[in-house]
């Protein structure tokens, strides 16, 4: 590739936010939308702290079928309204080909979760849409596997793919997953696609999230995606890794010393 891509997210009632280039993109919000009130509170906080894209899961890929699975389309509508009110494009995970058509009118960016990185039918289906795709790296995928998964989207005509390193399975058990710092320069050598890091899912613990975010940026990432919650003890999903609002603000201050956050 001759030039690195920049992927534009949003438009319509929100500004268009670029991912790629020399600035840092910041996607932030709760792991899962639990109700409208908590979504609005967290979204307002991350917006004030400088995040430009709102995240929030409405279909959750849980290890146990008895855990909270997400509130579905109702929660997606809350995401859309909140994003429009705050001027933030929204990034929401799609888990199944059957959800794509229903979600497409509401989302600004589809997230493909780590567990679906090689769900080739799903990749093709989002590849037929006009919405950008955040493609998380699979838990046990090589960088090559991951880039070939990106090709499934690109080959359908959708050129808006952003890669996301979110940690892989290793023997190390002091953390939830091991964030593979080297995948960032490798993916940047092999591909023109922008790449961001997800230190929240890699670390699994909020105290480690800031260090991993900054390490990812130092290694060449184009931004971060982080989970934030004001009451993580009561969170339905991923509470231990959620940044408290003041921790998010502190991280944003550090991020701004490295790159302009747009």
- How open is the CA angle 181-242-131, to the nearest 5 degrees? 70
Cα–Cα dist 125/197, whole Å:
24
Please say whether the beta carbons of 217 and 258 come within 8 A.
yes
111 in helix, strand or coil?
A: strand
Site residues for ligand PEP per CB under 6 A:
31, 57, 61, 113-115, 136, 166, 198, 201
Pick 113 or 132: Cβ nearer ligand PEP = 113
Pick 31 or 186: Cβ nearer ligand PEP = 31
Residue 183's φ and ψ, nearest 5 degrees, are -65, -25
Q: Which of 221, 184, 226, 230 is nearest to 201 (CA)?
A: 226
Half-sphere exposure of 156 (CA within 13 A, CB side): 22
Pick 165 or 238: Cβ nearer Mn ion = 238
Site for Mn ion in 11-70 (CB under 5 A): 31
The one of ligand PEP, Mn ion, none whose footprint includes residue 11, by CB under 5 to 8 A per kind, is none
CB of 55 to ligand PEP, least distance (A): 7
The one of ligand PEP, Mn ion, none whose footprint includes residue 15, by CB under 5 to 8 A per kind, is none
Pick 13 or 63: Cβ nearer ligand PEP = 63
The one of ligand PEP, Mn ion, none whose footprint includes residue 251, by CB under 5 to 8 A per kind, is none
Contact residues for 54 (Cβ-Cβ < 8 A; gap 6+): 27, 28, 29, 43, 46, 47, 79, 82, 83, 86, 88, 89, 90, 91
Closest CB to ligand PEP: residue number: 113
The one of Mn ion, ligand PEP, none whose footprint includes residue 114, by CB under 5 to 8 A per kind, is ligand PEP
Closest CB to Mn ion: residue number: 31
Site for Mn ion in 189-248 (CB under 5 A): 238
Surface-to-core class of residue 152, CB atoms within 10 Å of its CB (0-12 exposed, 13-18 middle, 19+ buried): buried
Kindly list the residues in this chain that would bind Mn ion in the complex (CB under 5 A): 31, 238
């Amino acid at each position: 590739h001759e030039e690195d891509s920049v992927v534009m997210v949003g438009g319509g009632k929100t500004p268009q936010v670029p991912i790629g280039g020399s600035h840092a993109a910041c996607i932030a919000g709760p792991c899962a939308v639990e109700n409208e009130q908590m979504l609005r509170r967290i979204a307002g906080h991350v917006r004030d702290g400088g995040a430009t894209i709102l995240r929030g899961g409405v279909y959750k890929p849980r290890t146990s079928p008895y855990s909270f699975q997400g509130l579905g389309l109702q929660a997606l509508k809350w995401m859309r309204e909140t994003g429009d009110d705050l001027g933030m494009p929204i990034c929401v995970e799609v888990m199944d080909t059957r959800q794509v058509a229903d979600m497409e009118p509401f989302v600004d960016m589809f997230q493909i979760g780590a567990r679906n990185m090689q769900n080739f039918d799903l990749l093709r289906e989002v590849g037929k849409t006009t919405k950008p795709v955040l493609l998380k790296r699979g838990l046990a995928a090589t960088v090559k596997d991951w880039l070939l998964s990106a090709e499934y989207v690109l080959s359908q005509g959708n050129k808006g793919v952003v890669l996301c390193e979110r940690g892989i399975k290793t023997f190390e058990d002091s953390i939830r997953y091991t964030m593979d710092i080297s995948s960032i320069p490798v993916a940047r050598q092999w591909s023109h696609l922008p790449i961001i890091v997800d230190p929240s899912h890699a670390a699994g613990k909020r105290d480690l999230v800031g260090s991993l975010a900054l390490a990812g940026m130092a290694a060449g990432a184009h931004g971060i995606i982080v989970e934030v919650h004001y009451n993580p003890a009561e969170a339905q999903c991923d509470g231990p890794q959620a940044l408290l609002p003041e921790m998010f603000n502190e991280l944003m201050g550090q991020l701004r010393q490295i790159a302009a956050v747009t």
